[in-house]
Amino acid sequence: MADTIDQITLAPIPARHWTELGRNAYTPEGLGETRTEWLVRARTTGGVEGLANARQRVSAEGGSVARLVADLREVFLGRSVDSLLEIADGHAVAAGSEVRRAFMTWGWMDTLAMDLMSRTRGESIATMLGGRRRDRIPAYESTTYFQDLLNPHRGLAEVVTHASRGFADGFRQFKIKVGRGGRAMTPADGLRRDIDVVLGIRDALGPDVELMVDANFGYDGQPENLAAFIRATSPARLTWLEEMVTASVEAYQTLRDLQATHCPETLLVAGEVDGNPPSGAFVDLIDQQLIDGYQPDIVRIGHLRWKQLESRLAERSILPIPHNFGNGRFGLIAGLALATSLDSWVTLEDERIRPSVYADDALTVINGAYWAPDGPGLGVEVNDDAYKRIGAPNEVVIRA
């Protein structure tokens, strides 16, 4: 008899960063320490369990727990695992016809289906997506927010100390939030602090680490300050400039000229805001090669969809650099599975969420990288004792 999904549970799981995070260019307040995962566990008549983080369905506009329950009932409950994905030569190539529309809207459903199907077959997600591409997954520390504004008396030193602790914890790549000159400081003061932070971290961590910056559009409307930032930070040899300005062909042509003049080795990357990739301005930015890396979110887009996107990017020599922030501990697990699957890989965004309900003791960054999971499925199970304490108290059970 075909393996059928006969029970689904849903639970909010606190996802705690390793420390308190400050604000970025657009958040009015610091990010604090705790976010929420909505952990879905779908079980089959054959005893297989697949996992997903359905946070998007609750936090998106119009979202609610009730809607998430209704969607899980409609799309997954009572459905056979075989019907979720189309398989050719042992590889997942498309969503099943009955669920395709739902998977296009909610990428976490694609991941849930990939996990269920892979575990049912006793294979890893990478194998299902075409084969294991690498053994080690480089990852970057992504929590250097405006830490200086959390502890004003320590200022710049606070940001440098934050990054240095990441180095001590094993990271060798760091992304630094910039764009203070707008909602956090005056443009002139913000520019100066942004430059000091980048040069200060480069000085503290030495020439061998990789440094990236992310402005979350904080240089919109400040062309002269944008140029000044790029000029002044060129000695830091940044790996990439992320979302310096809002995506448009005109803005990125200007940015491309600046980059070509002052830091030709630095990549221009964007796209985490694209929920239906590629859409809007990103179609032109990709076609005209005005970006070098494209960043739709891992959990929002899903594994199969990301794999499909990869070939389109490869035609234009654009690198996949998926966004992975706000996805909780599950985001790390999902990101490692995706990184193991993609033909080209740059680095995994790590928001450094402390262990929670997963049996994932082996997930430790060593010399800047994680070991690639080898399955089955995502390669990680839920730890029953931890789940009893953290997930079960607020669990919703969905049965036929």
Binding residues for Mg ion, rule: CB under 5 A, are: 214
- Closer to Mg ion by CB, 117 or 163: give it: 163
- Closer to Mg ion by CB, 84 or 332: give it: 332
Least distance from C-beta 382 to Mg ion, angstroms?
A: 29
- Would you report the helix, strand and coil content of the chain in percent, each value rounded to 5? 40, 25, 40
Least distance from C-beta 293 to Mg ion, angstroms?
A: 11
- Closer to Mg ion by CB, 109 or 346: give it: 346
The label of the residue with tokens 């934050």 reads 162
Least distance from C-beta 28 to Mg ion, angstroms?
A: 17
Helix (H, G, I), strand (E, B) or coil at 14: strand
Least distance from C-beta 50 to Mg ion, angstroms?
A: 29
- Closer to Mg ion by CB, 120 or 259: give it: 259
Least distance from C-beta 150 to Mg ion, angstroms?
A: 19
Read off the tokens for 184: 């956090």
Helix (H, G, I), strand (E, B) or coil at 361: coil
Q: In 10 A of CB 147, how many CB atoms?
A: 27
Instruction: Collect contacts of 114-117 with beta carbons under 8 A, ≥24 apart.
Output: 114/85, 114/302, 114/303, 114/304, 114/377, 115/50, 115/51, 115/52, 115/377, 115/378, 116/5, 116/42, 116/44, 116/48, 116/50, 116/81, 116/84, 116/377, 117/81, 117/84, 117/85, 117/87, 117/92
Question: What counts of helices (H) and strands (E) characterise the chain?
Answer: 14, 15
Least distance from C-beta 349 to Mg ion, angstroms?
A: 8
Least distance from C-beta 91 to Mg ion, angstroms?
A: 31
The whole-angstrom separation of Cα 317 and Cα 327 is 27
Least distance from C-beta 373 to Mg ion, angstroms?
A: 25
- Give whole-number Cα distances, 228 to 103, 235, 272, 274, 381, in Å: 43, 13, 25, 28, 48
Least distance from C-beta 26 to Mg ion, angstroms?
A: 10
- Closer to Mg ion by CB, 141 or 214: give it: 214
* Contact (CB, 8 A) for 239 and 264: no
DSSP 8-state secondary structure symbol assigned to residue 30: -
Closest CA to 177 of 127, 216, 223: 216
CB-closest chain residue to Mg ion: 214
- Closer to Mg ion by CB, 244 or 365: give it: 244
Least distance from C-beta 265 to Mg ion, angstroms?
A: 20
- Give whole-number Cα distances, 199 to 195, 204, 234, 364, in Å: 6, 9, 9, 28
- Closer to Mg ion by CB, 212 or 309: give it: 212
- Closer to Mg ion by CB, 140 or 358: give it: 140
- Closer to Mg ion by CB, 37 or 214: give it: 214
C-alpha 319: how far from its chain's center? 15
- Closer to Mg ion by CB, 214 or 292: give it: 214
Q: β-strands 32-44, 49-53: how paired?
A: antiparallel
DSSP 8-state secondary structure symbol assigned to residue 39: E
* Contact (CB, 8 A) for 324 and 331: yes
